[in-house]
Structure 1
Amino acid sequence: MDIKKDVQKQFGRSANSYVTSEIHQKGKDLQKLIEIANLTGNEDVLDIATGGGHTANAFAHYVKHVTAVDLTAEMIKVAKAFIEANGHHNVSFIQGDAEELPFDHDRFDIVTCRIAPHHFPNVNKFIESVHKVLKPGGIFLLDDNVSPEDDDQDQFYNNIEKKRDYSHFRAWKKTEWIRMLEEKGFNIEEMYRFEKTFQFDSWCNRMKLTEKEKNDLSEYMLHATPNIKKKFHIEVIENTIISFKGEAIIIKARKN
């Protein structure tokens, strides 16, 4: 089974939990995306890998139209229900692949993608696809979890994400994102880094881990080096992991 089928399987069965997820629904990054977009109300926006529809829902209030695309049919269904229940009727929904976007060249004013690119097996194809569908001078707003620059810490973070979610491909380093975007024809205009606290139980339960999978993941994290435990602020009470911290970035990039 390839990674895209893994994504469809994993998110098909977890679709509703992403609509209600606190970290997806109420993250402060959503307001930052709106703020730095400098919206006029006339924008045609594409939201890639819309998931529970939170980004599309946030932008729908401020722009002319949003197209929400996702690889997984179940995600499209729950996102549509969520957004329309909020009274937005300027959003259309299309099932599609982030790496092969089914849209014309130079179509959108803004492209957003939030908490999703770590699932994409060919991130360079994704960036090329975004560049293709953006109008000249258009804005790409990227928002995703990232791994630390240190190689051991990078490996640890990607390992725990993969153990938790088999559809995880790779969380990239901040420097990797900057390099890839600039190589594909974008200018980086703004970047923001922020910490994210993950509650271990809800983080695992969102992916419907079995007790054995959860225990194996817990053991792996408990046996991490002191340096890694310090970096990720792994909180442990009576040999039970309560939470840990990761990091994410928002990048505002403009198409050359």
Structure 2
Amino acid sequence: MNHFDKYEEKGPYHWKALYGEGWMRSSPRLHARYDIPIRLLSSRLNLENSTGLDVGCGDGVLLYKIRKLGGDIVGLDTSETGLQLAKEQLETRGVLSTRLINSSCYEMPFDDGRFDYVTSVELIEHLQDVNRFLGEVRRILRPGGWFVCTTPNRKENQAPDTVRDPFHVHEFSPAELSKTLSKVFKTTEVYGAYPSALDKLYVRNKRLECSDKVARLVFRAFSFLFFNPYVERLDDKPTTSNSLLVSVSKQ
């Protein structure tokens, strides 16, 4: 099964994990997957007065979060099923008229300089031709526009030309991600997210002792009522303790 056929098997599984069963079952870690790009963009531009594109939008969670903030954003994906689920989930929640495009990320159907920002959430590790994709992102960004990208962090002891996930084509180290993006964009910053210290607090193993279950519930309640530590904690010098890399590049 192709990785992106998960929508046909599981339906809108990101929505189920985030909004399906209330805050007690909602994942702060998964919310951060979408809220970190929003945090970084919001500190660099006014989302309400900007037009963005989410490449690899899937079932549309990032589109929803940005539209609820008053932003204008287009979603693009190769999965027709994912886009249909995105449309249904957005409209169910009163977010109407979101433009959804079924297209390859290598030849995107937009004019040069069309967008103020572009996002890609855990996409580039799946691509056969990352440089071609980045060239397209640069083309459709306006001068001074922003590109925010997230991707899993390659482990230090990982053998060359290997991947931990069989659906990945290539996994990046912080240095390699910075080098790849710097060839295309004027400036690039790479941060580390999802530190292992937080993962130890927010245990993900389903077979938990009672004390661990209580700890996870407290962590979720704190994240829901106050702030999400996964969003607030970004390391400007990523290490192998960070399982996710987040980059911000300027056109």
Regarding TM over 0.5, the answer is yes
Counterpart secondary structure, 1:152: coil
Aligned to 1:91: 98
Aligned to 1:175: 175
Aligned to 1:27: 31
Per the alignment, do residues 191 and 20 of structure 1 end up closer, same or farther by CA in structure 2, a change over 3 Å counting? Answer: same
Counterpart secondary structure, 2:12: helix
Aligned to 1:77: 84
Aligned to 1:117: 124
Preserved contact between residue 193 and residue 242 of structure 2 (Cα < 8 Å) = no
Among candidates 238, 245, 249, match of residue 249 of structure 1: 245
Counterpart secondary structure, 2:182: helix
Q: Give aligned-pair identity as a percent.
A: 19
Aligned residue pairs, count = 204
Preserved contact between residue 67 and residue 95 of structure 2 (Cα < 8 Å) = yes
Aligned to 1:187: 187
What's the CA shift for 1:154?
8.0
1:151-162 correspondence runs (5 A): 151-152=158-159, 155=162, 158-159=163-164, 161-162=165-166
Per the alignment, do residues 190 and 9 of structure 1 end up closer, same or farther by CA in structure 2, a change over 3 Å counting? Answer: closer
CA distance in 2, matches of 1:123, 1:24: 29
Q: Say what the alpha-carbon RMSD is for the aligned residues.
A: 3.0
CA distance in 2, matches of 1:19, 1:153: 35
Preserved contact between residue 64 and residue 90 of structure 1 (Cα < 8 Å) = no
Preserved contact between residue 152 and residue 171 of structure 2 (Cα < 8 Å) = yes
1:146 matches 2:153: yes
Q: Which runs of 5+ in 1 are unaligned?
A: 202-230, 233-244
Aligned to 1:129: 136
Q: TM-score, normalised by structure 2?
A: 0.70
Question: Which amino acid in the other structure matches residue 247 of structure 2?
Answer: I
Question: Which amino acid in the other structure matches residue 249 of structure 1?
Answer: L
Question: Which amino acid in the other structure matches residue 243 of structure 2?
Answer: E
Question: Which amino acid in the other structure matches residue 181 of structure 2?
Answer: L
More strand by share: 1
Q: TM-score, normalised by structure 1?
A: 0.69
CA distance in 1, matches of 2:205, 2:80: 28
What's the CA shift for 1:66?
0.9
CA distance in 2, matches of 1:175, 1:151: 15
Per the alignment, do residues 179 and 56 of structure 1 end up closer, same or farther by CA in structure 2, a change over 3 Å counting? Answer: same
CA distance in 2, matches of 1:25, 1:74: 25
What's the CA shift for 1:83?
1.8
Counterpart secondary structure, 2:99: strand
CA distance in 2, matches of 1:24, 1:169: 27
Question: Which amino acid in the other structure matches residue 69 of structure 1?
Answer: L
CA distance in 2, matches of 1:146, 1:177: 9
Preserved contact between residue 178 and residue 189 of structure 2 (Cα < 8 Å) = no
| Bigger mean CA deviation after superposition, 16-25 or 71-80 | 16-25
Q: Which runs of 5+ in 2 are unaligned?
A: 19-26, 207-238
